[in-house]
C-alpha cells in the first residue's frame, strides 16, 4: 500500500503536464469544429418523386436562368423538368434516336441494358444568356438543347482523336459561354465505373468546348477519375472532384498559373458532382465515406461545403441508404439533392 501510494504521488505531476499538452494540441481542432456551421440533417427532406415503377437516378440537378426547375437526367436517357406539385415531372430533352418504347425499363430489360443506346445524362448546366442546356451524357458525349427543350444536338464525341468514353461532369462560364467538362476514363464506360476506382485508372481528361468555334480542347489528361466540376466565383479556375482519390483538384484557367493544376482538398469521402454555394465555396456530394462500415449507426456524410481555400465549412448527414451525386443550394436555404440510385430528387431545408 505504501509503495503504491508513493508511485501515484510521483506520477501525478507528469500526468497533469501531459493533460495540459494534449489540451493545447487539441485546441485548434476544437476551435475549428466550433467555427463550423451547424450540421444539416439530410434525413428530413421532401421528395420530388419521378413516377414510373422503374424510373430512377436523377443524377444532376439544374435550374434555368428564370429559376425554373429543377431539371434532372434520369435512367431512361431523358432530361426531365419539375413543374410543381400539380403537374410533377415532364420530358424536357432527349438524345438523338431516343425511342420511348425501347428505352423504358422493365424487369426483364433494366435500364443498365439500354443506357448505352438510349443515353445516360449525367452533369447538367444551363447557359443563362442563351437559355441553352448543356448535357454531359455518359455515352453520347457532350450535348446541347435549346430553350424549350426537345431533341438534343451532339456537340462532341471525341477530343484529340480519342473518343469520349465516360462523359461525366459539366459547367459553363456564364460570361464567355465556354463549356468545361470531364471524361472520367478512356478505358471504361459508365457501366464499368467501379473498375475506374478499383484499377486506379488515370486516363481521365478535363476539356473545354468553345461554342463560337465548336472546338474541343484537352486542358489536362492523365487524371484519376475526374467527375463533377465547377468554375470558381471569380472565373479564374476550375475545381474538379476526383472520385477515386477522394480529392479536389484546382485547375487554373486565368492568371500567371493558367494551364497548371494543384491539390485543393482531401475529402472524407468519395465525391461526385459539385456546385457553387453562392458564397465563394462549393457543395460537394459524397457517395460514401472513406471508412464507411455497413453496420453501426445508420448515418453518414451526404455532402460537405468547402470554402474557396478547400477547408470544410459545413456538413450534411443522413441515412446510409441515401448516396447523393449532387447537392445544389438555392435561395432560402433549400438544398436540392440528386442521386443516381433513388427515384426522387430530395429537398432539404438548411
Catalogue the active-site residues: 326
Q: Is 149 left (phi over 0), alpha (psi -120 to 50) or beta?
A: left
> For residues 312 and 321, what is the distance between their CA atoms, to the nearest angstrom?
23
| Secondary structure of residue 285 in the 3-state scheme | strand
67 Cβ partners below 8 Å, 6+ apart? none
Nearest to 77 by CA among 97, 96, 95: 95
Give CA–CA dist 187/16, Å, rounded.
58
- How many whole angstroms separate alpha carbon 140 and alpha carbon 305? 31
HEC profile for 223-269?
ECCEEEEEECCCCCEEEEEECCCCEEEEEECCCCCCCCEEEEEECCE
Question: How many whole angstroms separate alpha carbon 161 and alpha carbon 55?
Answer: 35
CA distance 232 to 275: 10
Residues 86, 25: Cα–Cα separation, whole Å: 56
Amino acid at each position: 500500500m505504501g509503495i503504491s501510494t508513493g508511485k501515484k504521488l510521483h506520477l501525478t505531476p507528469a500526468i497533469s503536464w501531459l493533460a495540459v499538452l494534449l489540451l493545447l494540441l487539441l485546441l485548434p481542432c476544437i476551435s475549428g469544429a466550433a467555427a463550423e456551421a451547424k450540421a444539416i440533417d439530410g434525413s428530413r427532406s421532401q421528395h420530388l418523386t419521378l413516377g414510373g415503377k422503374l424510373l430512377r437516378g436523377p443524377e444532376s440537378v439544374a435550374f434555368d436562368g428564370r429559376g425554373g426547375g429543377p431539371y434532372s437526367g434520369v435512367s431512361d436517357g431523358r432530361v426531365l423538368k419539375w413543374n410543381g406539385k400539380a403537374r410533377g415531372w415532364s420530358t424536357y430533352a432527349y438524345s438523338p434516336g431516343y425511342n420511348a418504347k425501347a428505352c423504358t425499363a422493365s424487369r426483364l430489360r433494366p435500364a443498365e441494358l439500354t443506357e448505352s443506346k438510349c443515353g445516360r445524362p449525367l452533369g447538367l448546366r444551363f447557359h443563362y444568356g442563351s437559355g441553352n442546356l448543356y448535357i454531359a451524357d455518359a455515352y453520347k458525349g457532350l450535348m446541347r438543347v435549346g430553350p424549350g427543350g426537345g431533341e438534343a444536338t451532339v456537340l462532341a464525341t471525341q477530343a484529340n482523336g480519342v473518343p469520349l468514353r465516360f462523359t461525366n461532369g459539366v459547367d459553363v462560364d456564364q460570361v464567355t459561354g465556354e463549356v468545361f467538362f470531364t471524361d472520367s476514363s478512356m478505358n471504361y464506360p459508365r457501366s464499368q465505373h467501379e473498375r475506374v476506382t478499383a484499377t486506379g485508372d488515370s486516363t481521365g481528361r478535363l476539356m473545354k468546348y468553345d461554342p463560337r468555334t465548336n472546338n474541343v480542347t484537352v486542358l489536362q489528361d492523365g487524371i484519376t477519375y475526374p467527375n463533377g466540376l465547377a468554375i470558381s466565383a471569380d472565373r479564374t479556375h476550375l475545381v474538379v472532384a476526383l472520385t477515386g482519390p477522394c480529392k479536389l483538384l484546382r485547375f487554373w484557367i486565368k492568371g500567371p498559373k493558367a494551364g497548371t493544376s494543384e491539390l485543393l482538398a482531401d475529402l472524407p469521402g468519395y465525391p461526385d458532382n459539385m456546385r457553387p454555394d453562392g458564397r465563394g465555396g462549393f457543395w460537394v456530394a459524397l457517395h460514401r465515406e472513406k471508412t464507411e462500415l455497413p453496420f453501426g449507426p445508420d448515418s453518414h456524410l451526404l455532402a460537405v461545403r468547402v470554402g474557396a481555400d478547400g477547408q470544410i465549412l459545413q456538413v450534411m448527414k443522413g441515412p446510409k441508404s441515401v448516396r447523393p451525386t449532387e447537392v445544389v443550394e438555392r435561395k432560402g436555404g433549400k438544398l436540392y439533392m440528386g442521386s443516381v440510385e433513388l427515384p426522387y430528387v430530395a429537398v432539404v431545408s438548411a
